[in-house]
Amino acid sequence: MTTRRKQILKMLAEDGDISVPGLAASLDVSEVTIRADLDALEKDGMIVRTRGGALPAFHPKIFALLTSNNDSKVKIAKLAADLINDGDTVIISTGTTTSLIGRYLLGKKDIHIVTNNTLLLTYARVNPQLRITLVGGEFRPSVEGVAGPIAMREIEQFHVSKAFIGADGVCIDQGFTADFIEGAEFVRKIAECADEVYVLADSSKFGKPGFAKILPIDGVDAVICDGGITKEFTTAFNECNVKILK
């Protein structure tokens, strides 16, 4: 995504009433260019076109996540997808990085994904080899996922070979954390359903204290990250026999 299109998304998230002329004036480009950008963003599912402008297709928090640390997220998602084999059944939690795993499963056969991550549905539509079981419950736009007591009950029905989970923060003392309690509880439940648990986290999450604890650092099998992990975290994971994949 170009820098200008990221700016357009940010402006639409801040002011959904801004028009094509307003966008053009703010970004110092022609209205024709703005319309072309809006067409591209609509095609990617990022916006909904309206008469004279556009509206965001996602919650502002999701917009911010979708447009940050893209290179790291792609690298991490590819590494995670490489761990999934033909015929595997896996659980994937909410998160913009975890959702990208679906993009890199093309070519693999008979993959069954249990998830509460609605962003994953985009890839299920274009890949007939993906079978998606979407956990029921209440849709939460701020995380693009399903949550609540119904989701907690439903996830207990499953057993999978691998779970891929996201984290909002990673600290040595706190372990892996989430920004809200309900999300942390659901991810803990996911971990109980899997033989192997993988955490996906880019370097911006390391050293960031979180609100609700998910799991201690020795509560997972591996961490999939970018190259920005510090020596302190490397030592801590090694001492806990947690693999670092980067």
pLDDT digits (tens, 9 = 90+) for 126-146: 899 999 999 999 999 888 999
Identify the CATH number of the domain in which residue 15 sits. Answer: 1.10.10.10
Domain match, 121 and 173 both: yes
At 207, is the pLDDT very low, low, confident or very high (cuts 50, 70, 90)? very high
Q: What amino acid is encoded at 178 in this protein?
A: A
Looking at residue 210, its pLDDT comes to: 85
At 67, is the pLDDT very low, low, confident or very high (cuts 50, 70, 90)? low
Mean pLDDT of the chain: 91
At 177, is the pLDDT very low, low, confident or very high (cuts 50, 70, 90)? very high
**62 in a domain, yes or no?**
no
Cβ-contact 146, 134 below 8 angstroms: yes
Domain match, 12 and 128 both: no
> What domain range includes position 18?
3-57
**190 in a domain, yes or no?**
yes
At 48, is the pLDDT very low, low, confident or very high (cuts 50, 70, 90)? confident
- Distance, in Å, from the CA atom of 153 to the CA atom of 150, rounded to the nearest integer, reads 5
Domain match, 158 and 110 both: yes
Q: pTM for the full model? A: 0.83
Collect all residues with Cβ–Cβ distance below 8 Å to 71 and sequence separation of at least 6: none
Residues 89-118: tens digit of each pLDDT: 999 999 999 999 999 999 999 999 999 999
At 15, is the pLDDT very low, low, confident or very high (cuts 50, 70, 90)? confident
Domain match, 125 and 12 both: no
Domain match, 136 and 200 both: yes
- C-alpha closest to that of 207 among 183, 192, 229: 229
For CA atoms 204, 68, 131, 185, the dihedral sign is positive
Looking at residue 126, its pLDDT comes to: 86
Looking at residue 138, its pLDDT comes to: 94
Domain match, 74 and 44 both: no
The Cβ-side half-sphere exposure at 109, using a 13 Å CA radius, reads 0
> Does 61 have pLDDT greater than 70?
yes
**More confident: 151 or 53:** 151
In the listed set 12, 27, 57, which residue is the last one of a domain according to the structure?
57
Identify the CATH number of the domain in which residue 143 sits. Answer: 3.40.50.1360
Report the share of the chain in percent with pLDDT over 70.
97
**167 in a domain, yes or no?**
yes
**113 in a domain, yes or no?**
yes
**137 in a domain, yes or no?**
yes
Looking at residue 99, its pLDDT comes to: 94
Query: In angstroms, how far apart are the furthest CA atoms of the chain?
Result: 58
Domain match, 115 and 202 both: yes
Domain match, 186 and 209 both: yes
- Strands (DSSP E) contained in 1-157 are 47-50, 53-56, 89-92, 111-115, 130-134, 138-140, 145-147
The SS3 of residue 241 is coil
Domain match, 78 and 198 both: yes
Distance from CA of residue 41 to its chain's centroid? 19
**101 in a domain, yes or no?**
yes
**9 in a domain, yes or no?**
yes
> Does 16 have pLDDT greater than 90?
no
**64 in a domain, yes or no?**
no
The number of folded domains in the chain is 2
Domain match, 110 and 206 both: yes
Domain match, 91 and 179 both: yes
Domain match, 104 and 24 both: no
Residues 155-164: tens digit of each pLDDT: 999 999 999 9
In the listed set 30, 57, 84, which residue is the last one of a domain according to the structure?
57
Least confident of 57-61, 136-140, 148-152, 221-225: 57-61
